[in-house]
Structure 1
Amino acid sequence: MMASSIIHIARRFQSTLRPKTIQYVRDALQRHVSALMKMPPNSGEANLPPRTMSESRDLAIIPLASDKSMQLQYINWRQLVRFGVVLEDLDTFAAYLVYRHNQGGAPMGQPYHQPMSIVTACVDNIQINEDHNITPDWDIYMQGNVTWVGRSSIEVSMELWQDVNGQRSDYLNARFVMVARDPSATRSLPLAPLKTTSEEEEKIIERGEIARKLRKMNEARSLLKFPPNEAERSLLHDMFVKTLDPKNLSLRHRVLPPHHEWIDETKLKNAIICFPSQRSVYNKVFGGYIMRIAFELAWANAAKYSKERADIVAVDDIKFKNPVEIGDILLLSSQVCYTLGRRMEMSVNVEVLEVETGNRKTTNTFYFTFLSKTDVPTVVPRSYA
């Protein structure tokens, strides 16, 4: 009874506050995780009661217009906001919202639940408004909440916008999937279930369940497990035939049609040493940082390929497969994997290099879609392999 009264008072108090800043979110997340690390094993509430969407919902601002000191970190040479830094903030905000969901209105920094780590499993989708260039002239508003919960996995939906001359201008919608692990990262832990309070919320949860099933189906249909289907084989064959020399009957003699490029010649690579400054609240390398450097490599490759400064319009299917430790060497490889008109899809593969053995282990895969001002060359594979 006492705990529920405290939670009720905390909710009323929080509702009177001004929107939190992103720095407040970072600090609150750090306090909460630090408090969790000090808790004895098997302490805290394990069987959490169901939560509503409103209990995790929160609003934060990136105060670029009102805090000029922040602008240097966020702006690029075009005086626009760096998308890679926004990715870092989305990752932080998503983890914060999951802990807030578990807290059920109790203050952050005073864990109501058992010790756990909330980590990013995947970025399911980020859709970006092509008509709005986000600028440092206006504060950025971030709002989000939990929209689906499994046993140990949880979906967080977020939206970003700016108020431009008093008019809301939407920038992006993002959907992250997080997972709960015990502090040693050896087993999954249950999260507070999600309950609905309206028909609209039931539809939102249903969409989250559909997205989960789609992720599972796509994983099951991976090319690592199944060969291409008939339509995919036909597409590959058409690409192959396009590159045959009509003057030479040999299948080994290949030519590029006009305004085409070999896909294996579109690569751009980078190597990164992971320093303590990239440390997350869990003493691993911050997942948002890996997203940022992967995006920046993909953007550079898109600029190289299109010969102009392309704009990011979508992010899809980012997977976090293994944690990255401080001191690890990351090998990043990007390439153009699909083009259509002005659009380019870039893949980025991130591997950890084991210095002693030379072995590599994939930690992340990324897919970014960019839009150029003019049509870009079509990429074609050199072989079926």
Structure 2
Amino acid sequence: MLSLLFRLCFLNKGLLTHRRGLARGSLYKVQEPLDIREVRNKLGEIVGVSTNWRDHIKAMEERKLLDNFLVKSQKDLPPRKMKDSYIEVLLPLGSDPSLREKYLTVQNTVRFGRILEDLDSLGGSKNFTVWFITAIFVHIDNEFWPVLDATFVMVARDSENKGPAFVNPLIPENEEEEELFRQGELNKSRRIAWSSASLLKVAPSPEERNTIHELFLSTLDPKTISFQSRVLPAKSVWMEDTKLKSLDICHPQERNIFNRIFGGFLMRKAYELGWTTACSFGGSRPFVVTVDDIMFQKPVEVGSLLFLSSQVCFTQNNYIQVRVHSEVASLQTNEHMTTNIFHFTFMSEKEVPSVFPKTYGESMLYLDGQRHFKSMSVPLILKKDYPVEP
């Protein structure tokens, strides 16, 4: 079993050079890229998947026997190389009409939510890799253009998902691999620092406190000179008026190989609600720029009710920062638990209104959204031929 945290950002096409083949310019060569369906089938073969939901209890009981094969120390596992985890996957949208129907939007662009599902499948297929990068290319005019890259952190679990499991030590073989390894360590440090500075743990910085106070002062009614009388500045929206919500029943059809709800399904549903929120708020079709760290805090059981709540929490020029909160409720106990918090940065074709918080809680959401927006790697230049939409 794997826990997953991942982050991705879209690349600016104007800053990159194209490639004629998927393997060109990469560290390793592959004989032939796999089809994404082959990846899923292979993962099912490795883990052992019950093809029918009614057999899942028996399958989970049989999986307990695998605990006997777990090592007691990482020293008992042979070292692995980065090239052992390298894989290339194709989505033959041009030659497979049935697959194309699943992936295309009404605008004849690629559904990014489907890409999120594939990234989750791809991450699970390399279950001996603790940290790795995935790049996606699109085929335009007989050439491959890079579209996005994604960074994953995978946490190995035992066969019953009750505790951690050791992974093979990783040995870099050249300077480029050593740099990737160092980048992984830097990413780890970044996540620890980000968690330590969370607004759920510590107070905002002096600069952030000044920001909130300035926002508050700009909404006071000058006619009344009262802290209670608030007015909305021009070209602005109250944060509370940007919310959208959805509810899904988690059917067995959406289960993963561990008989829990597939993480890619959760990411797709959250992304599509976030995109809808940005579209409704900005008044035009937005484009995704960054998906910030996604931490899967709790597994989602089959049969649960999935509640998603989306809200615009920060804007700047034509950028829209959207936060999606995911929680599940058990039909047996009606207990609600948070499973994920998603942060999406979208870009609108035109300048969007500012958002203003009313309460202290909304002010913290505003600052958190601002932090996530500032962590975005490179501002994107909007292109009319942008190939990926929701």
When normalised by structure 1's length, the TM-score is 0.80
Residue 269 of structure 1 contacts residue 332 of structure 1 at CA under 8 Å; is this kept in 2?
A: yes
Gaps of at least 5 residues in structure 2 are: 1-28, 50-61, 362-390
| Cα distance in 1 for residues equivalent to 2:71 and 2:165 | 12
Q: Which residue of 2 aligns with 1:37?
A: 63
Whether the 8 Å contact between 2:278 and 2:322 is mirrored in structure 1 is yes
How far off is 1:38 after superposition?
8.0
Structure 2 distance, partners of 1:328, 1:278, is 12
**Which string of whole-angstrom CA distances, capped at 9 and with x for unpartnered residues, describes residues 181-215 of structure 1?**
11221210111111111122111111111111110
* Corresponding residue for residue 228 of structure 2: 252
1:79 counterpart = 2:79: no
The offset of 1:359, in angstroms, is 3.0
- Post-superposition Cα deviations, 1:103-125, rounded to whole Å, max 9, x if no partner, equal xxxxxxxxxxxxxxxxxxxxxxx
Alignment match, 2:159: 183
| Pairwise CA distance, 1:17 | 4.2
Q: Are 2:307 and 1:307 aligned?
A: no
1:280 is aligned to 256
Q: Point out the more displaced range, 333-342 or 163-172.
A: 163-172
Question: What's 1:163 paired with?
Answer: 139
Q: Distance in 1 between matches of 2:336 and 2:314?
A: 26
Whether 1:211 aligns to 2:225 is no
Task: Give, in whole Å, the separation in 2 of the partners of 1:323 and 1:310.
Answer: 30
The letter for the 1-side match of 2:326 is: V
Find the counterpart in structure 2 of residue 70 from structure 1.
Answer: 99
Partners of 2:334 and 2:71 lie apart in 1 by 44
Partners of 1:240 and 1:349 in 2: CA distance: 25
Q: SS where residue 105 of structure 2 aligns?
A: coil
List runs of 5+ in structure 1 lacking aligned partners: 1-14, 103-145, 147-153
The change in CA–CA distance for 1:202 and 1:375 in structure 2 (over 3 A counts) is same
Instruction: Establish whether residue 173 from structure 1 lines up as the match of residue 149 from structure 2.
Output: yes
Q: For the residues of structure 2 that align with 1:375 and 1:186, how far apart are their CA atoms?
A: 48
Instruction: Please say if residues 270 and 333 of structure 1, whose CA atoms lie closer than 8 Å, have aligned partners that are also in contact.
Output: yes
Aligned to 1:24: 38
With normalisation by structure 2, the TM-score equals 0.79
**2:87 pairs with 35, 39, 58, which one?**
58
In 1, the alpha carbon distance for the partners of 2:165 and 2:228 equals: 54
Q: 1:39: how far off?
A: 5.2
For residues 35-57 of structure 1, what are the alpha-carbon distances to aligned partners after superposition, in whole Å with 9 as ceiling and x for unaligned?
A: 89385422266622111111110
Structure 2 counterpart of 1:202, one-letter code: E
* Deviation digits for residues 296-352 of structure 1 (CA, Å, limit 9, x no counterpart): 000111111011111111100211100001100011000001100000010000001
- Assess, with a 3 A threshold, how the Cα gap between structure 1 residues 16 and 263 changes in structure 2: closer, same or farther: closer
Q: What amino acid is the match of 1:367?
A: H
1:214–1:306 distance in 2 versus 1, CA, 3 Å:
same
Match of 1:373 in 2: 349
The answer to whether the 8 Å contact 1:240/1:383 transfers is no
Q: Which residue of 1 aligns with 2:17?
A: none
Distance in 2 separating the partners of 1:168 and 1:63: 13
Q: Is residue 238 of structure 2 the alignment partner of residue 262 of structure 1?
A: yes
Paired residue for 1:360?
336
Q: Distance in 2 between matches of 1:37 and 1:23?
A: 24
* Mapping 1:344-359, distance limit 5 Å: 344-359=320-335
CA RMSD of the aligned region, Å? Answer: 1.8
The question of whether the paired residues in 2 share the 8 Å contact of 1:97 and 1:156 is answered with: no
Which secondary structure does the structure 2 equivalent of 1:270 belong to? strand
**What is the number of equivalent residue pairs in this alignment?**
319
**Given residue 174 of structure 2, which amino acid in structure 1 is its aligned partner?**
S
Cα distance in 1 for partners of 2:160, 2:64 equals 13
Highest RCO, 1 vs 2 (Cα 8 Å, sep ≥ 6) = 2
Spell out structure 1 runs of 4+ moving beyond 4 A. Answer: none
SS at match of 1:58: coil
Q: Residue 254 and residue 38 in structure 1: after superposition, are their counterparts in 2 closer, same or farther (change >3 A)?
A: closer
Q: Secondary structure at the match of 2:340?
A: strand
What does 1:322-337 align with in structure 2 at a 5 Å threshold?
Answer: 322-337=298-313
The one-letter code sitting in structure 1 at the alignment partner of 2:100 is Q
Percent identity, aligned pairs only, is 38
Task: Describe how 1:201-240 pairs up with structure 2 within 5 A.
Answer: 201-240=177-216
CA contact (8 A) 1:339 1:377 kept: yes
